[in-house]
Amino acid sequence: MKTEIKIKLVNLVNSYANQTVPSIIKIFEGLVGKQLLKSDGKMMLKYANIMPSLVQEDNLKAIIQVEYSWLELWIRSSDSTGDRREYHETMVHLGSMKDGTLISIGNFTPLKADHKIETVKEMQQAAAVAKRFLNEAQKLYDDAIMACGHFEK
């Protein structure tokens, strides 16, 4: 059940990012080279007023975060499973800042938003097998190093 909910949350966040990020990037493309932040770290009002409206629902929230060195979109989804609440959060890099000035816009690659339970379970099984092999290989490596570690090359 937890895996199904996590897949639902990942798909929701990624789908929202795919729908929203291209239009946000278009807004910020016109602001490259502009000072977006005041000296106190707050966004200049003339730019704050052109920020797009982002979803603010119980199960999906998004914010644009502007700092002195980066510009990002944070998206968080949540869902209840009985008495527990499950969350998924992702960050999409929108651009780079320097001293409050937007210096570049990032390239956005659409995120996979159609994960399926069957595929995820297959990948989890494959990852478990790979991890066992890695652990065995690490043990062999460690044993070999211990056995000959005191010899110089």
| Average pLDDT of the segment spanning 67-93 | 91
pLDDT digits (tens, 9 = 90+) for 113-136: 999 999 988 998 999 999 999 999
What local confidence, expressed as pLDDT, does residue 42 receive?
86
| Average pLDDT of the segment spanning 41-56 | 88
What local confidence, expressed as pLDDT, does residue 136 receive?
95
pLDDT digits (tens, 9 = 90+) for 99-114: 899 999 999 999 999 9
Which of the 8 DSSP states describes residue 119? Answer: H
- 3-class DSSP state for residue 42? coil
β-bridge partners, 76: 61, 89
